[in-house]
Chains A and B, each alone.
Chain A
Amino acid sequence: MKKPKSFFVKICLFLALIVLTIDCIMLFLSFRITYDNTIEKARTTIKNAADTAVQYTTSVYLEYEDTRKQLSEDYSYLCDVFEITYIYAIKIDPDKKTETYLAIGFGADATQEAKINRSPGVVVEGALNDEELKVHNRESNRAYSHETTQFGETLIVYVPCFNQFDSDGSKYTDKEDVTVIGAEISLTSIVKSIQKRFMLIAALTIGATLLMVVSFGAILYFRVSKPIRKISRQMNNFVSDRENHKNVEKLKVKGNDEFALMADSFNSMTDEIDRYINDIDALTLEKHTQEAELNIARNIQMGLLQPKHTQRDMFDIRGYMLPAKDVGGDLYDYRILDDGRIFVTVADVSGKGVSAALFMARAITLINQYAKMGYTPARMLEEYNNTLASQNPGGLFITTFVAIYDPGDGTLTYSNAGHNIPYILSDTLIPLREVHGVAAGLFEGETYENARVKLKEGDTLFLYTDGVNEAKNADGGFYSTERLEKMLSSCIEAGSEQVLEDILGDLKRFVNGAEQNDDITMLTLHIKPCRDEVVLRLKSEPKQLSLIRSAIRKLPVSESLRKTLYLSAEEIFVNICSYAYDMPGDVEVRLAISDGVGMTFTDGGKPFDPTAEVIDIDEYDHENAIGGLGRFLTFSLAEQYRYEYRDGKNILYLFFKEVNENDDHKEN
């Protein structure tokens, strides 16, 4: 920061300037008055001196040198008495413009030069002035001349003198014969003494002024500027002291002036601020603790989720969760079960924060476990509900939708525990409202039902939590189920495969940055359309293997995969031919091509699970055993295989991966 120019310095300089100006004006005026007075006094003095000189002169006869000499001495005496410089009598010759000194007396301050130039009898030419002439011509009885010559500043008075004596000494009065008497006073010394005096006065005045300004400045400095600086410094220190966790220094309150008041106010203000900041600090700490807890909750929640995107040969699963600031306890989960079926779920815990997140953690672990155990969705929900309800001191509950998709026959089996109705995006938008049970976690012994629906290739299952339809914008409006359905319908029309991204985009546009109140969770399961599909309806006769082979021959797959398909098709088909029917029966073989080849064998023969009791090759008796090799080979080569007996039919599903293809995207 730029060093501030002190306010008090400015004031002092300004004051000094004003006072000095006034001083100068006053001094000048009083000098002028004194000067004028002095001049006036000098006039009186020389007038009196001149008048007296006239008295002396009228009675003497000026023709005699002695007389003139005597008169000169008398003049000198008068000079001393009146304290003037010269008194002289001159004769003026107006025609010749000369003046002749008849007698002259010198005062104490007469210059030596003047004494020589003005001695009696000296005739001066060209020095005649108007005043002298006026007196000589009797136009005036008294004339003053104030002049400055080589002898300095002088004031002269001229008066006429008429001699009372003629040349023989008889008394007469000749008005024609005028002698001019001049009384002259040198002002140089007087002016000098006035100047000297005024210099002294000026010096004293200025000194006094400076003293006053300095003392005023000192008062200002110690009583105003310093306290202000101190308060200012204290204000700065207040911040740094607080940062360094030092005690804030108090201002000392002295006296009872405005600054004492200010210091007092400042002290109480810092006390207030100090207390206030301490309060805020405490609140902030508490808030941080809460935030840390919410972070833990968020981490629990997010850490348990499956990857956002998993893509396999025949399907594409996307999950999305955006936890709210105070964490709602939503979850999504999916899993490709060992038999190739796909388990998906979305759930929403009532409540928020750590408790909701912990409940969610428990729920996701349980539902996953039940899914792995091969339970149907309804059974999963029943077990899950019982387990959660048995230990639920917080009284939280969780709405849950669970579904299992079977890629073999395209069936989606689902059950619902109080959750939002999901949708299937097929040719139309199909809400899955067939079954709807009570939210899980509260009442033990609740039962749930399974419902089935077919998903065809290209269909998408859309699951979500109420964070979607109940998302609020800044105006307080809800996103709403209507808007969601409208958007999903438009996804169908547009043939969009990125339903989740489309909904999310629309949701974000709607919310437009308003604060999120609840977790937003969505999950989509998209069934990829097959590039090709062949369905063969055969009789269980080994000869018909050639039909399967010719179909396989036409498939656009690598030679290596084709060999594998030949082998597996032969092993399974021959197996069916050998054991399924007593008499040849129907066998349906379905070949579906996506990123690999899916082969489904359906027969109406005796129930037989070929996936059961597959030989362990390490324990296989190569020397003596005969059976089981074909099934072993088939299931070794298949990426996925699954058997089920349903509606009186053996259904075996096999999937073979295209080995030459890039597998990067298939595993997350």
Chain B
Amino acid sequence: MTITKKTDGDTLTVVVDGWLDTMTAPKFQEEVQDLCGAKNVVLDFGGVEYISSAGLRETVALYRRVAAQGGAFSVRKVSAGVMDVFTLTGFDRKFEIRAD
């Protein structure tokens, strides 16, 4: 899994490529520890084919941090399989998750 971060004004875009599972979740957590001072976060899941509950947990943790600082949080370019997991767990009702 690789993670690329881009800052555009007060919005941080995190591009994730690969599986977000038990093995990679710690790395993801580490990478997003530093929000580079951005207020809002966009997760680009265009390269994520698979997410497990470990990945979900990190995603939710990130959302909570952004929400706590009053920022906007969204997940973009979500594939159908990953979208199912978000829908099943009800997280689609908590933050913005988009397929585009």
Contact at A636–B57, with CB atoms within 8 Å? Answer: no
Contact at B91–A622, with CB atoms within 8 Å? Answer: yes
CB-CB < 8 A to B53: which residues of A?
A: 571, 629-630, 633
Whole-angstrom distance between the Cβ of B67 and the nearest chain A Cβ: 8
Select the residue from A632, A633, A636 with max chain B CB neighbours within 10 A. Answer: A633
- 8 Å CB contacts to B: which residues of A550-601? 560, 563, 566-567, 570-571, 574
Contact at B52–A567, with CB atoms within 8 Å? Answer: yes
Contact at A622–B50, with CB atoms within 8 Å? Answer: no
Contact at A566–B50, with CB atoms within 8 Å? Answer: yes
The answer to whether the Cβ of A617 comes within 8 Å of any Cβ in the partner chain is: yes
Contact at B52–A630, with CB atoms within 8 Å? Answer: yes
CB-CB < 8 A to B91: which residues of A?
A: 622
Contact at A629–B22, with CB atoms within 8 Å? Answer: no
CB-CB < 8 A to A632: which residues of B?
A: 89
Q: Could you give, for residues 5-23 of chain B, a 1 whenever the CB lies within 8 Å of some chain A CB and a 0 otherwise?
A: 0000000000000000111
Provide the main secondary structure of the chain A interface: helix
The answer to whether the Cβ of A623 comes within 8 Å of any Cβ in the partner chain is: yes
Whole-angstrom distance between the Cβ of A255 and the nearest chain B Cβ: 105
Query: Size range of the interface on B?
Result: 20 to 34
- The answer, among A560, A570, A620, A636, for a CB contact under 8 Å with B52, is A570
CB-CB < 8 A to B50: which residues of A?
A: 563, 566-567
Cα of A609 to Cα of B89 in the assembled complex, Å:
21
Contact at A626–B57, with CB atoms within 8 Å? Answer: yes
Contacts A545-B22, A566-B50, A570-B22 given; does A618 touch B57 at CB 8 Å: no
CB-CB < 8 A to A626: which residues of B?
A: 57
Q: Could you give, for residues 32-63 of chain B, a 1 whenever the CB lies within 8 Å of some chain A CB and a 0 otherwise?
A: 00000000000000000110111011001000
Contact at B54–A574, with CB atoms within 8 Å? Answer: yes
Cα of A618 to Cα of B90 in the assembled complex, Å:
8
CB-CB < 8 A to B60: which residues of A?
A: 622
The answer to whether the Cβ of B85 comes within 8 Å of any Cβ in the partner chain is: yes
The answer to whether the Cβ of A542 comes within 8 Å of any Cβ in the partner chain is: yes
Q: Could you give, for residues 69-91 of chain B, a 1 whenever the CB lies within 8 Å of some chain A CB and a 0 otherwise?
A: 00000000000010001001111
Contact at A542–B64, with CB atoms within 8 Å? Answer: no
The answer to whether the Cβ of B98 comes within 8 Å of any Cβ in the partner chain is: no
Contact at A560–B81, with CB atoms within 8 Å? Answer: yes
Contacts A567-B50, A626-B57 given; does A620 touch B90 at CB 8 Å: yes
Cα of A231 to Cα of B53 in the assembled complex, Å:
100
Cα of A412 to Cα of B59 in the assembled complex, Å:
45
List residues of chain B with CB under 8 Å of any chain A CB: 21-23, 49-50, 52-54, 56-57, 60, 64, 81, 85, 88-91, 93-94
| 29 pairs from A and B in contact (CB 8 Å cutoff) | A542-B23, A563-B50, A566-B52, A567-B85, A570-B21, A570-B52, A570-B54, A571-B52, A574-B22, A574-B54, A617-B88, A617-B90, A620-B90, A622-B91, A622-B93, A623-B64, A623-B94, A626-B57, A629-B53, A629-B56, A629-B57, A629-B89, A632-B89, A633-B52, A633-B53, A633-B85, A633-B88, A633-B89, A637-B88
List residues of chain A with CB under 8 Å of any chain B CB: 542, 545, 560, 563, 566-567, 570-571, 574, 617-618, 620, 622-623, 626, 629-630, 632-633, 636-637
